[in-house]
């Protein structure tokens, strides 16, 4: 199937009834819901009436292949039965409990996460999502070091709350930045659009590290609490760091007593074909933030995995922070079921294999065929297709921070073909669930192939 079509709903639900309910939901949404990141009067949000595995159904009852994993969170696919059942059973047993009390779901989730995170990240502080995980990681780093400044890279996203949006190194920060956050941005490695005039990955690594080292010396090493990096930057463009870069940042942090925070909110829990993206680089951060894939977003959950050294800071000194829903039973029960299912079903291994054997080569074949593709890059089920109007100049098909009729046409062609992509500026991201099948990926590639014909018209 390479065109959008109506398909029966899972679980025998009546399609016409669901479509009618969806229409009512749309009306109420437009009257009363205030949407994120949007000019309220200018949007036409898609209604979703059902989802299953790698698919969602829109308000007309059409089935779309979900190559977005929503906001890159349904790592285990939609409506995974084990996770749904675990949430139902937990709801019947214990819906909520204050964070100062112990509960079995939270304890078990913490154990499963601590066992999978690298090195001595042995303790978990639970939050409601990714932004507040980063807020708390920074607070911990500031208290641990007694320093204030935090470094983060351009071309990054760290969340929509106050410090997290200031950390963010992409245009979403611009209207939210009042310039007093103590955050300093730097350029990270991105060979395709190198800030360092590099021609090889090795040059890019060496120059990006030398520049970071110099920036720290000019900012004052004793004033810097933390460096925050997405292990593989996600919404900003899925730029896999070149060999040696993350290890180099680790060395720089050690040299100056700076806390290394790895943001694994999007790249963690299998997305790159390892439990955590930082595992590709054999680096152990001091703090690791996570959310999304920890329970596929079935119930909001995030957290900070904390090294023994930083945890020790708060052994006899109170940590000044907390959340009513920290380690919420429904969210952590969903995490336990998700992590166990990922382990038992080999879902992380599937993501690695799909990336190496099906999705990666398939996208490269599209890049070879379509002149509008400047570059495809990624790993696991975490790929970006960068679209350009001119391969030689690399002029993007939409400006940095903006959209364009050409990109809108490509996105529309994806949807008309039955594919829901994740799109940002001049990029289409191919980020299906980690348990996507080979056939589903081939179906997605076929639809992308036709959508890229539309992009080629603008070259």
CB of 392 to ligand PLP, least distance (A): 32
Pairing of strands 427-430, 422-424: antiparallel
* Site for ligand PLP contains 158 (CB under 6 A): yes
Residues 6+ apart with CB under 8 A from 194: 204
**Is residue 291 a contact residue for ligand PLP (CB under 6 A)?**
yes
Q: Can residue 124 be called a binding residue for ligand PLP (CB under 6 A)?
A: no
CB nearer ligand PLP, residue 265 or residue 358: 265
The yes or no reply on residue 285 touching ligand PLP (CB under 6 A) is: no
Q: How far apart are CA 225 and CA 285, in angstroms?
A: 14
- Under the criterion CB under 6 A, does residue 411 sit at the interface with ligand PLP? no
- Applying CB under 6 A, what is the total number of residues that bind ligand PLP? 16
Residue 433 touches ligand PLP, criterion: CB under 6 A: no
Q: In this complex, which beta carbon is closest to ligand PLP, that of residue 286 or of residue 443?
A: 286
Token readout for 358 is 């099906």
Judge whether 196 and 215 are in contact, CB under 8 Å: no
| Residue 323 touching ligand PLP (CB under 6 A) | no
For ligand PLP, the closer CB: 263 or 440: 263
Rounded CA separation 39/53 (Å):
31
Nearer to ligand PLP, 266 or 454 (CB): 266
* Cα gap 98→311, rounded to integer Å: 21
* Residues 242/190, Cβ–Cβ less than 8 Å: no
What is the 3 state secondary structure string of 141-173?
A: HHHHHCCCEEEEECCCCCCCCHHHHHHCCCHHH
CB of 420 to ligand PLP, least distance (A): 17
- Per CB under 6 A, 159 contacts ligand PLP: yes
Q: Distance between CA 233 and CA 382 in Å, rounded?
A: 10
**Shorter beta-carbon distance to ligand PLP: residue 134 or 338:** 134
Contact between 287 and 140 (Cβ < 8 Å):
yes
Q: Does 383 bind ligand PLP (CB under 6 A)?
A: no
> What DSSP designation does 356 have?
I
| Helical H segments across 276-318, by residue range | 308-313
Among 69, 145, 235, 372, binds ligand PLP (CB under 6 A): 235
Q: Minimum distance from CB of 297 to ligand PLP (Å)? A: 8
Instruction: Please report how close the Cβ of residue 237 comes to ligand PLP at its closest, in angstroms.
Output: 12
Site string for ligand PLP, 260-279 (x = CB under 6 A): ---x-xx-------------
Among 61, 234, 241, 380, binds ligand PLP (CB under 6 A): 234
The residue assigned the tokens 């909110």 is: 265
Residue 132: strand, helix, or coil: helix
Partners of 428 in the β-ladder: 385, 423
Q: Is 237 in the site for ligand PLP (CB under 6 A)?
A: no
Residues that bind ligand PLP (CB under 6 A): 71, 129-131, 134, 157-159, 230, 234-235, 263, 265-266, 291, 302
């Amino acid at each position: 199937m390479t065109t959008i079509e109506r398909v029966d709903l899972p679980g025998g639900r009546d399609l016409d009834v669901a479509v009618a309910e969806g229409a009512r939901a749309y009306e109420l949404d437009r009257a009363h819901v205030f949407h994120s990141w949007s000019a309220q009067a200018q949007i036409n949000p898609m209604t979703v009436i059902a989802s299953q595995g790698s698919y969602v159904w829109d308000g007309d009852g059409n089935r779309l292949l979900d190559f977005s994993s929503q906001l890159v969170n349904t790592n285990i696919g939609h409506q995974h039965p084990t996770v749904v059942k675990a949430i139902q059973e937990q709801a019947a047993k214990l819906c909520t409990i204050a964070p100062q009390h112990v509960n079995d779901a939270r304890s078990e989730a913490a154990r499963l996460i601590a066992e999978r995170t690298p090195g001595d990240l042995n303790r978990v502080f639970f939050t409601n999502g990714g932004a507040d995980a980063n807020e708390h990681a920074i607070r911990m780093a500031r208290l641990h070091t007694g320093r204030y400044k935090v470094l983060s890279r351009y071309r990054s996203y760290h969340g929509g709350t106050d410090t997290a949006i200031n950390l963010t190194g992409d245009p979403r920060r611009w209207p939210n930045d009042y310039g007093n956050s103590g955050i300093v941005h730097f350029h990270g490695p991105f060979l395709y659009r190198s800030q360092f005039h590099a021609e090889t990955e090795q040059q890019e690594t060496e120059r990006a590290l030398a520049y970071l080292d110099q920036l720290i010396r000019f900012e004052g090493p004793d004033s810097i609490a933390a460096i925050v990096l997405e292990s593989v930057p996600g919404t900003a463009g899925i730029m896999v760091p070149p060999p040696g870069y993350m290890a180099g940042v680790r060395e720089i942090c050690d040299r100056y007593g700076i806390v290394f925070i790895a943001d694994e909110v999007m790249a963690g829990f299998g997305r790159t074909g390892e439990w955590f993206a930082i595992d590709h680089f054999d680096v152990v951060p001091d703090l690791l933030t996570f959310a999304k894939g920890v329970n596929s977003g079935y119930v909001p959950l995030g957290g900070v995995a904390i090294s023994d050294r930083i945890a020790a800071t708060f052994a006899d000194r109170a940590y000044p922070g907390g959340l009513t829903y920290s380690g919420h039973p429904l969210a952590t029960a969903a995490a336990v079921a998700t992590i166990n299912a990922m382990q038992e079903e080999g879902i992380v291994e599937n993501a690695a294999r799909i990336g190496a054997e099906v999705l990666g080569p398939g996208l490269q074949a599209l890049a070879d065929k379509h002149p509008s593709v400047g570059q495809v890059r990624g790993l696991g089920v975490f790929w970006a297709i960068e679209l350009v109007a001119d391969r030689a100049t690399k002029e993007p098909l939409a400006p940095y921070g903006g959209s364009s009729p050409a990109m809108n046409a490509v996105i529309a062609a994806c949807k008309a073909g039955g594919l829901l992509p994740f799109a940002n500026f001049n990029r289409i991201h191919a980020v299906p669930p980690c348990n996507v099948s080979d056939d589903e990926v081939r179906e997605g590639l076929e639809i992308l192939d036709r959508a890229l014909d539309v992009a080629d018209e603008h070259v």
